[in-house]
Amino acid sequence: MRKKIVAGNWKMNKNYNDACSLISGIIDELRKSTISKEQQIILAPPFPFLQVAVSRTEEIEYISVAAQNCHSEEKGAFTGEVSAQMIRSTGTEYVIIGHSERRNIFKESNEFLSKKIDIVMKNGLFPIFCCGELLPEREKGNHFAVVKNQLDESLFHLSEKEIGNVIIAYEPVWAIGTGVNATSEQAQEMHAYIRKLISEKYNQQIADRSVLLYGGSCNAKNAKELFANPDVDGGLIGGASLITQDFVTIVNSF
Ligand code: PGA
C-alpha cells in the first residue's frame, strides 16, 4: 500500500519560540489522533528550526522533517546557501525541491533543479519534488505539457531505484496561497496523468508505488474530498500548516 503523506511547508514564517510551540502543539494533537501505519507526517520549517524539529520528533516514528530547499553544489563559496549534506547532518530526511516560489521568485530552472535532485539523492535525502502550471498555461490548455516537461527535465533521468524514493507534489501555481484550490477532478486528472508518465518512463509497479501529493489551498475543509481521489496520496500544505488544529484536521482527513 502506498504511503499517505501530509507535509507542512511553513515557508518563511515563525520565529524560534513560535516554531517550538507549533511543533509541540502538533505532536500533542497527533498523539490524540489515530495514525495508521501507512501515514507519514512531514514538517518543513525554515532552516534555523530544522534541528529543533528533528530533536523533538525523532522518537515519533510517523513524523519526519523536511528542509524547504538546498543548494545544487556539494560545498564551497556560496554565501548564504545551505548544502544537502548539512541538512542531512541535522537528521532531516526530506527536502522540498522546485517549489513554485523557488521557480518564480528565485528563477530556478528545470536544469538547475535537476542538479539539486542529484545532490539530494547523493546525500541520502528524499526529495519532495514540486511541479505545476501557471494560470495562463492552464487557460491555454498547456498544463499537462508543462508538468510533463518539468518531470522530464528535472526528474526522469533518475534510475528506477532512485525514482522510487521521490515524492511528487502537484501544485498548480494559481492555487497556491490564493484560497482557490484545484477541484477534486482537476487534482485527480493531473495525478493520474503523472502516474501514467511514471509508468511509461519506468514501469507500472513503480508508478503504482509512487506517492503523489496535492498542494495549493488545501485546507481543513477541502482535504477530505481531495484525498478521497484514488491517485491523490496526501497533501503539501502551506498556510493551513501554520495552525495546529487545521493541520491536524488535514492529517485526519484520510
Ligand atoms: P498553500 O501553499 O497551502 O498556502 O496554498 C501550498 C504550498 O505552497 O506548498
CATH number reported for the structural domain that contains residue 96 in this entry: 3.20.20.70
How confident is the model at residue 113, as a pLDDT?
98
Ligand 1 center–CA 76 separation, angstroms: 32
Q: Ligand 1, from 218, 242, 246, 247: best to mutate by most atoms within 8 Å of Cβ?
A: 218
Cα–Cα distance for residue pair 132/156, rounded to 1 Å? 16
For ligand 1, mutation pick of 97, 180, 237, 241 (most atoms within 8 Å of CB): 237
Q: In whole angstroms, how far apart are CA 251 and each of 12, 35, 205, 209, 246?
A: 22, 9, 26, 20, 9
* The ligand 1 atom nearest the CA atom of 177: 5
Predicted confidence at residue 180, as pLDDT, reads: 96
Condensed to tens digits (0 to 9), the pLDDT of residues 21-69 reads 999 999 999 999 999 999 999 999 999 999 999 999 999 999 999 999 9
| Full-model pTM | 0.98
Answer whether 64's CB lies under 8 Å from 57's CB: yes
Count structural domains, the chain: 1
pLDDT band at residue 13 using 50, 70 and 90 as cut-offs: very high
pLDDT tens string 172-205:
999 999 999 999 999 999 999 999 999 999 999 9
Residues in the chain: 254
Ligand 1: which atom is nearest the Cα of residue 216? 5
**What range defines the domain where residue 37 resides?**
4-251
The distance in angstroms from the start CA to the end CA of the chain is 14
